[in-house]
Amino acid sequence: MSTEYAVSASNNFLKTIIDEDLKSGKQSSVVTRFPPEPNGYLHIGHAKSICINFGLATEFGGRCHLRFDDTNPAKEEQEYIDSIKESVRWLGFDWGEHLYYASDNFEQLYQWAVCLVTEGKAYVEDLNAEQIRAYRGTLTEPGVESPFRNRPVEENLNLFQRMRDGEFPDGSRVLRARIDMASPNISLRDPVLYRILHTPHPHVGNAWKIYPMYDFAHGQTDAIEGITHSICTLEFESHRPLYEWFLDNLPVPSRPRQYEFARLNLTYTVMSKRKLQELVLNGLVSGWDDPRLPTLEGLRRRGYTPTSIRNFCEQIGVGRSDSWIDVSVLEESVRADLNDSAPRAMAVLRPIKLVIENFPDGQAEELQAANHPQKPEMGSRTIHFSREIWIEADDFMEVPSKGFHRLTVSGEVKLRSGYIVTCRRVIKDELGNILELRCDYDPASREGIHTADGRKVKGVIHWVSAAHSITAEVRLFDRLFSDPNPDRSGADYKQFLNQNSVEVLTECKLEASLTCADSETRYQFERMGYFRQDPKDSKPGSLVFNRVVTLRDVWVKK
């Protein structure tokens, strides 16, 4: 695998394959599917698969099915099924009437398994899981045939029926295909087809006591649905001969073809469902929708847009070589989308009070601020200017460093959409902490960055009126891991958890227009980044905003 953190060329080799299939007459239409296992929440890697499958079907005038490969009820829940549906819809895709479950085909799959047993191509195995692994051999050594491999057909049929009837306990027997224990492809060394599970199924209830393995159900379900291009990630490439063996040896109604593409490897995160679940169950994150996770629920809650994720998937392309995509590419995708669409607002996250001594106490002046500086069609909003305002603590320095162009003692700065102010003195407490700044304003400077006598002010800062502001909680999220490859072989990924991946600020001062902010609107808090109201924790009178992304990549020099 390449360790270069780069963006792949925007290409899709699958388009070429499909185009040639249609032109040659090999296929008359295109039918793809997105086949998640409902054993967890979808993440950004699944988004790539969703965009590929639905995108190809749309481009070539075909259709894409949403199918749940629900073959393991021990790990599957209705909660995951519901979440997957919602995530696919949120990304902007619609399966129409083509919603399917592998479990809808359990009877047909069972009958096909009986067909294999009848033809001597499958047998009931009494070895336990550990023994089966030992008998299977290694990459350099062939497997050893099971002592139960040559059971008579009638005995296998009887045992398999009794397995279905629930006569045997979990793990006591399995059904295996009888293929080739010496095959260089371990997937063909008598793979398991069915196992016993006395577990209720979220879709079909208690109807079954045995369940097909994913490898057995997947290809045959593709065939039942008439899938033309069965698209999966590269780890299934070695399974393709098995996929084709089942199609060759069963009376399936159609002949799908499997194609593999490189999965998404994203820096500073983990993409394993098991590890994401471990983070959730161990309380290392707040849940599957924690805004620091790469889950679609988490990205959505944080404020990522469907457009930004679709654009990201299009940008990274579809290839067959494993590579790494830097998470900054995903972050830049949402920046580009929000820079164009997000209305502007002012919010002071770490406030310090500024008192304008030459402005009348108890009065306020209405000013107009553009909702988007490059889009006059987005209109403007009213903000208030008063004697006391809030500014960012970082926008003031008593002893300015080189290149500091914001407010200093005796220095001047322009208030965004407001006036030029000059700091006259600093009020501190007995410990030397700044309580407030005492300033004057230039009433003639409202329209520009020049003082009354023509001097130009270099610095422009944001602010809010103290009397017209609202107080809110703001959550600043950073990358969940401090290492670009926390999932590296031989390492415990949890040791790379970024202990500063979230900062919660509880006394932020926001302009009053944000009182009516809805949770679906993303805003640019001027100079601070892009934010959205948290759809879960924010309540009227107790607003919470999440930072979606900073205005620029703050990790560039790290």
The three-state DSSP-derived secondary structure of 495-550 is HHECCCCEEEEEEEEEEHHHHHCCCCCEEEECCCEEEEECCCCCECCECEEEEEEC
Average pLDDT over residues 346-373: 96
pLDDT tens digits, one per residue of 275-306: 999 999 999 999 999 999 999 999 999 999 99
pLDDT value of residue 458: 87
Range of lowest pLDDT (111-115, 180-184, 351-355, 488-492): 488-492
Q: What Å distances lie between residue 77 and 7, 36, 74, 130, 286, CA to CA?
A: 36, 13, 9, 27, 20
Two domains, one topology: 13-116+214-266 and 344-471: no
In contact, 136 and 125? CB cutoff 8 Å:
no
pLDDT-based confidence at residue 1 (cuts at 50, 70, 90):
very low
Tokens encoding 284: 């290392």
What CA–CA distances, in Å, run from 258 to 24, 35, 337, 442? 18, 13, 34, 71
37 assigned to active site: yes
Q: For residues 153-167, give the mean pLDDT.
A: 98
Task: Give the distance between the most distant pair of CA atoms in the chain.
Answer: 104
pTM: 0.92
Q: Of 50-54, 247-251, 413-417, 490-494, which gets the smallest average pLDDT?
A: 490-494
pLDDT higher than threshold 90 for residue 74: yes
Of the two residues 6 and 380, the one the predictor is more confident about is 380
CATH topology of domain 344-471: Ribosomal Protein L25; Chain P (2.40.240)
CATH topology of domain 13-116+214-266: Rossmann fold (3.40.50)
pLDDT in tens, 514-536: 998 888 999 999 999 999 999 99
Q: Which helix (H) or strand (E) holds 366?
A: strand 364-370
430 is catalytic: no
pLDDT (mean) for 252-259: 97
pLDDT one-digit tens code per residue, 363-372: 999 999 999 9
Q: Catalytic pick from 273, 310, 335, 475?
A: 273
- How long, in residues, is the chain? 558
CA angle (344 as vertex; 343, 349 as ends), nearest 5 = 135
User: Domains of the chain: which residue ranges?
Assistant: 13-116+214-266, 344-471
Which of the following is catalytic: 149, 255, 263, 446?
263
How far apart (Å, rounded) are the C-alpha atoms in residues 31 and 62?
6
What are the tens digits of pLDDT across the range 464-477?
999 999 999 999 99
- Percentage of the chain modeled with pLDDT above 90: 91
Burial label, 67 (beta-carbon count in 10 A; 0-12, 13-18, 19+): buried
Give yes or no for residue 389 having a pLDDT over 90: yes
Q: Which residues share a beta bridge with 347? A: 510
Chain mean pLDDT for the chain = 94
Residue 67 annotated among the catalytic residues of the structure: no
What is residue 247's predicted lDDT score, i.e. its pLDDT? 98
Average pLDDT over residues 344-352: 97
DSSP 8-state assignment for residue 254? S
pLDDT at 489: 79
Question: What letter does residue 243 receive in the DSSP assignment?
Answer: H
